[in-house]
Structure 1
């Protein structure tokens, strides 16, 4: 009976009768509309939802208000992850677009170095052949893993690496836009350390990555004690298009690697504090055009 009442009230508002526009209606719309795409379709097909409400207290459409309240209610929280979404609508950023971001928050949102660009979507990045030997790095900086167990899959090419890095919201991408970028460039270590967030933890593993060409592991504490291309039990290299899975257990401080759903082993121990996923791509020559990496959330094989 209650669902029938909701349907009648929703239908009356679709017909243009907004006399019953109250706070309860927002909840009812959210009840019937499950995703940002469904809400957008509703806004496009019904002017009562898609147009700014004249004579009401809203500064935007009813669809935008539903999206705003859905985002602010944090219905898309992921356990152990701090997700940073835009707090305000400005320019082309709408509450509908912010809601869409919240539904699939794991994206490469920070690009560092020359030649780095998104390919098709923010889930995929590539480094273009602007300079042979150049490299660029992408970070999922708005997806900060603080506690618990987290798994991501990377579709990789040769001449790329994937791994974890400290959150660095104070790092300015424009600072590195005209040069090849690497977390292992010692002249920037002081800048990296200064750009970290509070609460990163006391561990000394600030960056750790799996290198696709050799299967080796690199890590650094942004001091003199870098360890690069380290052999580890289970290491294997990759071919173009292989899927590499990474399981970060923040509580145990381990980073485990999978290749095509097969567990290779624990690549690194001693991780502590918060981390973001990152990927680095190299360009071996101008003719080839560079390497690519795609990221997505997933479930560990056998979970």
Structure 2
């Protein structure tokens, strides 16, 4: 009886195990079906996304769908510059800041640098920009100091370059002075000690209006002033000690006189930076005034300014943008800027010249 019971239980257990296995297999089959369906759905979704993306790329609109934005593409279009209005190109070119930049533009393309057959004066585009730059920047007084345009001789580009370098020391008198590192806006003493020489801004002749220049003093005590233009003076003949208030040369200087000099007998007038004194000459006698109203010395590192007002006939001086006073009056006729330098055992240095903002005659600076 006991053995029969065990046999029945074993058979029942075996039947239950078979049923459980069958159930697990059914469950696995169901899961595999779900997975297959998910994979199919996923593939269909991917295909739909690809199709939609392709439609977006082509920028097409399908029936019943929202409008889609087309994908932006870069389109390169060739422009024929000959069809662009010349005034527009001229305006754009005017933003170039210097004559050197305009020269580079002219060398870049023959259309910019060659003469334009359709223009009345037959100027190139670069020449027209240079001409406009000169007339827009230069004052009436500065225009009088610039070379005149002459076809085949002076170009507007060269005139603009001259305007950009309006104040230079282009005349050296005496054998003890030289340009600093080839820079014509700065001079320094050389050679023996206690030998004077002079540098003149001879190409900038001031004959009317108001003119202002600044001189930066470095390690020296120069004389700075105005002198009559003497273009016929042979600078090569003066290779020793030289000064514009040296009576040995007065006959040579007076031989350069022209009717333009007018009635004023002030032919050279200078400020001595060491003590602030003033000296002037009619090239017969020398006069000194150590007590003029604004007497004050200038030292190394100072910026000394001179305002020549030929409407009022006055020479006013400034130190570091501060007005010292009127140093000379009764001036008329043409003048040039100059500096006189000497070197000692303890004093040497340079003086540079540049244009400055024109002050008002009451001492304020114009804006």
- TM-score calculated relative to the size of structure 2: 0.64
| Residue matched to 1:4 | none
1:40 to 84, 94, 103: 103
2:90·2:125 contact (CA, 8 Å) conserved in 1?
A: no
1:70·1:99 contact (CA, 8 Å) conserved in 2?
A: no
* Cα deviations by residue, 1:194-244 (Å, 9 ceiling, x for unpaired): 223431111011101111111101100000x21146331221111112111
Distance 1:76 1:214, change over 3 A: same
Q: What RMSD, in angstroms, separates the aligned Cα atoms of the two structures? A: 3.4
1:111 to 163, 172, 185: 172
After the TM superposition, which residues 110-129 of structure 1 pair with which residues of structure 2 at under 5 Å, given as runs?
110-120=171-181, 121-128=183-190
Quick one: distance in 2 between partners of 1:278 and 1:118? 14
Q: Is 1:266 aligned to 2:329, yes or no?
A: no
Quick one: distance in 1 between partners of 2:186 and 2:155? 23
| Residue matched to 2:26 | none
2:214·2:305 contact (CA, 8 Å) conserved in 1?
A: yes
Quick one: distance in 1 between partners of 2:131 and 2:324? 43
> Can you give the 5+ residue segments of structure 2 that lack an aligned partner in the other structure?
1-78, 118-122
| Residue matched to 1:290 | 348
| Residue matched to 1:78 | 139
1:242 to 293, 302, 313: 302
State the 1:296 CA deviation. 1.2
1:156·1:212 contact (CA, 8 Å) conserved in 2?
A: no
1:168·1:197 contact (CA, 8 Å) conserved in 2?
A: no
Q: What number of residue pairs does the alignment pair up?
A: 275
Quick one: distance in 1 between partners of 2:213 and 2:91? 30
1:143 to 204, 208, 221: 204
1:110·1:173 contact (CA, 8 Å) conserved in 2?
A: yes
| Residue matched to 1:180 | 241
For the pair shown, the structure with the greater C-alpha radius of gyration is 2
| Residue matched to 2:233 | 171
Distance 1:226 1:85, change over 3 A: same
Q: Is 1:279 aligned to 2:342, yes or no?
A: no
> Can you give the 5+ residue segments of structure 1 that lack an aligned partner in the other structure?
1-10, 56-60
| Residue matched to 1:152 | 213
Quick one: distance in 2 between partners of 1:83 and 1:245? 20
Helix, strand or coil at the partner of 2:245: coil
| Residue matched to 1:8 | none
State the 1:113 CA deviation. 1.2
Helix, strand or coil at the partner of 1:199: helix
State the 1:69 CA deviation. 5.6
State the 1:292 CA deviation. 1.4
Distance 1:28 1:278, change over 3 A: farther
State the 1:159 CA deviation. 2.5
Q: Is 1:200 aligned to 2:258, yes or no?
A: no
2:314·2:328 contact (CA, 8 Å) conserved in 1?
A: yes
| Residue matched to 1:6 | none
State the 1:260 CA deviation. 1.0
Higher strand share: 1
Quick one: distance in 1 between partners of 2:90 and 2:165? 18
- TM-score calculated relative to the size of structure 1: 0.77
